[in-house]
Structure 1
Amino acid sequence: MSKVVVTGRIPEAALELLRAEHDVDAWDGSESIGRDELLARVAGADAVVSLLTERIDGELLDAAGPQLKVVANVAVGYDNIDVPACRERGVIATNTPGVLTEATADIAFGLILMATRRLGEGERLIRSGAAWKWGMFFLLGSGLQGKTLGIVGMGGIGQATASRAKAFGMEVVYQSRSEIDPAIAAELGARRVDLDELLEISDVVSVHCPYGPATHHLIGDEQLAAMKETAYLVNTARGPIVDEAALAAALRAGLIAGAGLDVFEKEPTVHPDLLELENVALVPHLGSATVETRTAMATLAADNALAVLAGEQPPTQIS
């Protein structure tokens, strides 16, 4: 039996798969595992099933030892993994694409509705106990029908978000490194544009691109200034794609109308200026947070680890 280290709490269904074939050391603390504890636990591991809260770098790979065969990330994003360092050591890295597409698109569109219809402001008002009364101009928001959604990064989640936008009567434009399948583009009524045009014409900009050096602060002062004053920004990808300080300044100055964020630059910390603003909806990284999705993610990660340990090709290896 091989040694499998699981760096955080995952659904029992995935642990049962791993325990049926291997010796599993799973962290079950309510808080994230400390770095020193993690480095000690991975020593001698043949597989590491990691959460996005753990940094998988050369130090950790070396602490595990040369017998380490696979790092199976329980996330579609893998900016927490030093993939080149894995390749250098012959360690296969995997992620969990596809299984969280619909859940994350739901959150993206939920944030679009929260921001454009001022739902967070309304709920805070009710809970505060303050007096309120219906009126023609009370907490007016913005409708979506006939408006343009600009999607930055048209992968699976971007496409699923576009599908929801179509159902709401929105036009869709997108910016991506490559064109999507023409049949899918036709079905969604989606048109590819460059980022500058997308920012200029969109009523809502939704971020879905991967995070890396090329997309760090992709949305900053210049990009926010290029958006319509009536536009909204939504980010359900990775926090550092958006410059939070620049976003807070733009929201305060009225350069854009509002925003919705599920991810943050330095999670779990949120930029204090954002916390003071009413025109931004903030939720704590809930994109994949359904029982069904988290179970599917963990199970896929377990399947990836089991495949590599059996000498087989994992279902979703990071290329």
Structure 2
Amino acid sequence: MTDIIVLSRPLPLPQISANGSAIEVRVFEGDYAVFTGAKVYLTTALDAVSSDFINTLPTSITLIANIGIGVDNIDLNAAKARSISVTNTPVVTEDTADLAFGLLLATCRRLGANERFLRSGKWSKQSPMAMMGNQVHGKKLGIVGMGSIGQAVARRAKAFNMDIYYYNRSRSLEAEANYQAHYCDSLASLLSSVDIISLHCPLTPESQQIINADSLANCNDGAILINTGRGGLIDDNALIDALKNGKIAAAGLDVFDGEPDFHSGYLDFENVTLTPHIGSATAECRQAMAGKALQNVIAMLEGKPLSTPV
């Protein structure tokens, strides 16, 4: 019997096989009949997999393989209740850290605003005080979430002689030893200690809108905020208010609540750098993500242990 998998959207996958036979690949386009006889649903972090959706799947589905490190797009409790395994692709660390630090540099040095200024044809004579940004080297960096990506950002920050502070659910002795990172036992303590904040924690009910009016009040005046974690970590209205009153001097955002939609209020600020969720958007990383997802698919079909279960 041919094994069947269903994709949430068309993906450029190589021909794959399991148990010595080619795998039939289908694409879900709204007709649930496509799941008949299928064992795996291969999805991406852009696709919502709700409890209603999961409860509509046939009992033949035993794995939801997610292309992405985060799984907040999947109702894990509903999957568990149906005995459906979930896997992710935690191979995005270095690329996401590259983007996070690149966004940090671009935001601090106003690269976007300066690039637009140059293209506008307005560059002729200017004051030596015009278009100034913020220094990066030697500044205090606060990392919220000292997991693999947070530590990769810390490693980059040390090359800029930055003083690193972090807030995490538990202390990371590894980060403290490797990057001389200072542990903060509360978010408020971290925010009041640093010049630049970078978000790298997963989106959970506890971290939903962790950056809000109350937490922003703890920031030093003129702090800079970077988010390459999840859009739901930020209360957009609160951040926009903080940008208006100068509490937050600038922000660099790669992720947004409800993306691809995002709060249009950000477009009013020249000191906000926006990118469309490109943390893993390198050819090498996306290939590695697809490869890891397929590794899990084949393992499930062949009755072998999953490589990266959630």
Where structure 1 has 5 or more consecutive residues not aligned to the other structure, the ranges are: 28-32
CA distance in 2, matches of 1:267, 1:283: 11
Segments of 4+ moved more than 6 angstroms: none
1:69 touches 1:309 (CA, 8 Å); kept in 2? no
CA distance in 2, matches of 1:159, 1:103: 13
Shift of 1:126: 1.5
Partner in structure 1 of residue 183 of structure 2: 192
C-alpha distance 219-2 of structure 1, shift in aligned 2 (>3 A)? same
Mean Cα deviation higher: 258-267 or 220-229: 220-229
Partner in structure 1 of residue 245 of structure 2: 253
TM-score of the pair, normalised by structure 1: 0.91
CA distance in 1, matches of 2:253, 2:36: 37
The yes-or-no answer on 1:106 pairing with 2:98 is yes
1:162 touches 1:172 (CA, 8 Å); kept in 2? yes
C-alpha distance 132-214 of structure 1, shift in aligned 2 (>3 A)? farther
Partner in structure 2 of residue 311 of structure 1: 303
Partner in structure 1 of residue 44 of structure 2: 51
Considering fraction of residues, name the structure with more helix.
1
The yes-or-no answer on 1:155 pairing with 2:173 is no
Partner deviation per Cα, 1:132-185 (whole Å, 9 max, x = no partner):
4354212111111221110001110000001111111101110001112x2442
Please show how residues 74-85 of structure 1 align to structure 2 within 5 Å.
74-85=67-78
Equivalent residue letter for 1:52: A
CA distance in 2, matches of 1:200, 1:269: 31
Shift of 1:2: 1.3
C-alpha distance 60-43 of structure 1, shift in aligned 2 (>3 A)? farther
CA distance in 2, matches of 1:205, 1:139: 22
1:45 touches 1:64 (CA, 8 Å); kept in 2? no
Partner in structure 2 of residue 88 of structure 1: 81
Q: Secondary structure of 2:22's partner?
A: coil
CA distance in 1, matches of 2:180, 2:261: 38
Q: Secondary structure of 1:288's partner?
A: coil
1:11 touches 1:295 (CA, 8 Å); kept in 2? no
Equivalent residue letter for 1:10: L
2:55 touches 2:78 (CA, 8 Å); kept in 1? no
Partner in structure 2 of residue 201 of structure 1: 193
Partner in structure 2 of residue 30 of structure 1: none
CA distance in 2, matches of 1:57, 1:223: 30
Partner in structure 2 of residue 133 of structure 1: 125
- Alignment: residue pair count: 306
Shift of 1:10: 3.1
C-alpha distance 136-156 of structure 1, shift in aligned 2 (>3 A)? same
CA distance in 2, matches of 1:121, 1:40: 50
Partner in structure 1 of residue 22 of structure 2: 21
C-alpha distance 11-296 of structure 1, shift in aligned 2 (>3 A)? farther
CA distance in 2, matches of 1:9, 1:158: 32
Partner in structure 1 of residue 8 of structure 2: 7
Equivalent residue letter for 2:143: I
CA distance in 1, matches of 2:171, 2:141: 17
Q: What's the RMSD between the two structures over aligned residues?
A: 1.6
Partner deviation per Cα, 1:25-57 (whole Å, 9 max, x = no partner):
146xxxxx5xx34x4433432101101122223
Q: Secondary structure of 1:257's partner?
A: strand
CA distance in 1, matches of 2:267, 2:256: 12
Shift of 1:64: 2.5
Q: Secondary structure of 1:106's partner?
A: helix
2:27 touches 2:34 (CA, 8 Å); kept in 1? no
- Residue identity (%): 40
C-alpha distance 242-21 of structure 1, shift in aligned 2 (>3 A)? same
Where structure 2 has 5 or more consecutive residues not aligned to the other structure, the ranges are: none
Partner in structure 2 of residue 71 of structure 1: 64
Shift of 1:295: 0.6
Shift of 1:18: 5.1
